[in-house]
């Protein structure tokens, strides 16, 4: 595959269309403010882009110095307590939190989702969360939302997770199927993988 690098001009959007659907896309902003897109990054300054229901976003990275295992143990009692209240497997909540924030209560996405379970402002308000950075409130709100989605999609875990990531309206738009977004499909697979792992390792 030949390298396809373009600069930010009027064909910015077309550059995405011209790239093979299976190719990873990377973005780099040079010192002149020009945006360069390519499927073969020349150095570590390029940031990988993923297609989400919100549009193209830079892939979230977790600091190498961040101790997520320590936070996993720290928040485990709260996660188990909330899981009992909403009749959810605690391993499932752990899986969602791992995929969403790696247990970072201060995590913020480019779309504005905040906290352990990455709540958007509207979702937080709907489920009584006044402080999205508060771990306990965030877990309560995210768990209530997940419980609602499971009921909405008749306990179909894959669809509930897809809706948690892309929005329930998006799942309905595609005929109650996982939306054709790479980020959403990867998210569902990731959470289910973590869920299976935690279900066997967490008593």
* Catalytic center residues: 100
DSSP letters for 146-172: HHHHHHHTTT-HHHHHHHHHH-HHHHH
What is d(CA 147, CA 98) in angstroms, rounded to the nearest whole number? 18
What is d(CA 186, CA 14) in angstroms, rounded to the nearest whole number? 24
Beta bridge partners of 47: 27
Specify whether the CB–CB gap between 150 and 160 falls below 8 A. yes
Q: How many residues does the chain have?
A: 203
């Amino acid at each position: 595959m030949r390298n396809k690098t373009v600069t930010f001009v009027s064909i910015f959007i077309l550059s995405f269309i011209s790239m093979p659907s299976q190719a990873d896309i990377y973005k780099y902003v040079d010192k002149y403010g020009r945006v360069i897109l390519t499927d073969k990054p020349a150095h570590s300054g390029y940031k990988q882009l993923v297609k989400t229901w919100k549009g193209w976003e830079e892939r979230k990275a977790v600091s190498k110095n961040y101790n997520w295992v320590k936070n996993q143990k720290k928040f485990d009692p709260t996660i188990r307590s909330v899981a009992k209240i909403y009749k959810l497997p605690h391993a499932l909540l752990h899986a969602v939190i791992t995929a969403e924030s790696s247990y970072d209560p201060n995590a913020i996405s480019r779309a504005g989702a905040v906290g352990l379970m990455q709540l958007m402002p509207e979702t937080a308000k709907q489920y009584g969360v006044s402080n999205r950075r508060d771990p306990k409130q965030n877990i309560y709100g995210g768990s209530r939302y997940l419980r609602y989605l499971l009921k909405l999609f008749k306990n179909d875990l894959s669809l509930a997770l897809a809706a948690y990531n892309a929005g329930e309206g998006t799942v309905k738009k595609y005929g109650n199927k996982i939306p054709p977004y790479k980020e959403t499909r990867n998210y569902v697979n990731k959470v289910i993988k973590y869920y299976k792992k935690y279900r066997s390792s967490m008593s």
